[in-house]
Structure 1
Amino acid sequence: MTSLRILHLTDTHLFGDNARHYDTVDTAAQLTAALAHVAEQPCDLVVVAGDVSEDGTVESYQRARTIVGEWARERDARAVFTMGNHDRREAFREVLGGGQPDAHERVLAGTDPARPIASVTESNGWRVIVLDTSVPARGYGDIEAEQLTFLRDILATPAENGTVIVMHHAPVDAQTDLLQALALDPHDADEFIEIIAGSDVRVVLSGHYHHPIVETVNGIPVVVAPGVANIARSLDDPAEESAELAFGGAVIEIRGTRTRVVPFIERHEAALEVFRFDRETVARIIAAAGRPTP
């Protein structure tokens, strides 16, 4: 296989029961609609780049594995999942293992169920690395030193066709004040970028921001897919935060020296605002949940 096609989804925010996100959004229906929207697209990987679950229950991960896994298997593809800030490591690991449950994954060593979930697989010359940027009970992201060592050691030997990295918090800045306060630690982002520079990494797939971003870093595209549960407004006043009822994702094709990214967003016929936080509300959320200042 000299090309690789990826359906990149993120932020499914599934529940183990019939609860609704923000008391409004049926996230399982959103995920089903997103998959139906791209039903005619062939793919090799179906990636869910974090915040797989909203409630962190075993049942929510079983739902993700069923919906995404069955869709992928029908297309001879495989599903890949990574931890997000809403996910819970123990339940995630119980159902999804190291994030690549349908492959012979090599996981970050250790027996403590609360440790980061990271894994690597290689198939048909393509390597997929899953990293865990979550910080338990926090919205912002970090990459522990052991994961950076894990990444550096793996990338020391190139894969035949190249490497895809999946991580929830992107190593690029957010578009709004609230999301920047909940972004990846900038020092970890810098070290991550230093590690992948000059490597065989073809693309980095992320989520968390709920709207699309494609940024090239040292010649490597970092793709933030829009959310499945809702779509954040990215170009309004950055001191405010709001989202609408819509779903999205991206279709990515790596072929030869080219990486093609086709994001999509689909809105419902009746436009519905899921939430809107004014400046004062955003400031309070940042003070309560943002990264502490040194």
Structure 2
Amino acid sequence: MAWFDDTYTFNKPSLRIAHVTDCHLFADRNAEYFGVNTATYFQQALEHMALQQLDAVVFGGDLTQDHSVESYLLFSELISNSTLTCPVFWLPGNHDEIALLEQISGGQIKAAKRLVANNLTNNLTNNLTNNLTNNASTDIELLLINSKGLTPAGWVTSEHLNEISDCLAQPVSKQLVFCHHNPLPINGYLDKHMLENGPQLLNTLVNNGNVAALIHGHVHNDYTQCFRELDIYATPASSVQFTKHSKAWQQQNNGPAYRMLYINSSQGQVHINTDVIWLSA
């Protein structure tokens, strides 16, 4: 099945989305990553997200640190045991195995990579008034792409770029794109493992004209960048953070974090607001 074949539809004109990433779980739920109990921090993020009246959670990759089957089962267990009730979608990070992510998909954890919010009420009204030709579409589309390469650095294959281009060519008001790797340098240690063909991906998105923003993880901190007027947001990790703008390998226990995205559409316009939620260490 092609990457974007599975579509999940929200019949509403606005979305409240949480982006959480880089939980780095182990088979042992008591194991620590640079002094941080990653399972406890991820559980804390899940419980806080459950209070936000979310339509969906997008998990941004690097589920596992020890690459064990048990770490994937722990991810599923933590979600199942939480008070979070919305669907959880995923995309792969450099640590992840797609086959194992697919194995835990089912029920609350969804494998769809194309999420569509459509203004069903508005479309029905326009059908009744025969005014479709004068009304701009207010659909919103979220694309979860695969930036996993053969090394810790990211790579979007030419085949996948074509799949992305095909999705972008379809008539919706705005698209948001999620990937794991940073497509631009952050002046930090992880630039050695960034998305190696990031400019190619970014130009593909910008040339479409309808992509509102790209959201990624991987860098374990909060960054905001811009490429040809395209907004790029990095979400901090739910585990440990990496010191910003440091060429050295430095970690900080700043507590778990995730990003909220508030997406609203009306009268053919889409408005996106976002902020990072930091929780106490």
Which structure is larger by alpha-carbon Rg, 1 or 2? 2
Conservation of the 8 A alpha-carbon contact between 2:21 and 2:238: yes
Give the 5 Å matches for 1:139-154: 139-154=152-167
Tell me how far apart the structure 2 counterparts of residues 85 and 200 of structure 1 sit (CA, whole Å): 28
Tell me how far apart the structure 1 counterparts of residues 216 and 104 of structure 2 sit (CA, whole Å): 21
Q: RMSD across aligned C-alpha pairs, in angstroms? A: 2.4
Tell me how far apart the structure 1 counterparts of residues 195 and 80 of structure 2 sit (CA, whole Å): 28
Residue 165 (str. 1) matches residue 177 (str. 2): yes
Tell me how far apart the structure 2 counterparts of residues 264 and 175 of structure 1 sit (CA, whole Å): 23
Residue 59 (str. 1) matches residue 70 (str. 2): yes
- Residue 33 of structure 2: SS of its match in structure 1? coil
Give structure 2 stretches of 5+ with no counterpart. Answer: 1-11, 119-138
* Alignment partner, residue 202 of structure 2: 193
Residues 214-239 of structure 1 show CA distances to partners (whole Å, capped at 9, x for unaligned) of 2233333221100111111214xx23
* Alignment partner, residue 230 of structure 2: 220
Give the length in aligned residue pairs. 243
Residue 81 (str. 1) matches residue 90 (str. 2): yes
Identity of aligned residues (%): 23
Conservation of the 8 A alpha-carbon contact between 1:57 and 1:91: no
Tell me how far apart the structure 2 counterparts of residues 219 and 43 of structure 1 sit (CA, whole Å): 28
* Alignment partner, residue 94 of structure 1: 103
Q: Which amino acid aligns with 1:259?
A: I
Residue 243 (str. 1) matches residue 251 (str. 2): yes
Residue 22 (str. 1) matches residue 30 (str. 2): no
Tell me how far apart the structure 2 counterparts of residues 163 and 64 of structure 1 sit (CA, whole Å): 28
Structure with higher RCO (Cα < 8 A, 6+ apart): 2
Q: Give the TM-score, by structure 2 length.
A: 0.77
Q: Which amino acid aligns with 1:234?
A: K
Residues 10-60 of structure 1 show CA distances to partners (whole Å, capped at 9, x for unaligned) of 101112333523363221101011223344312212111110122223332
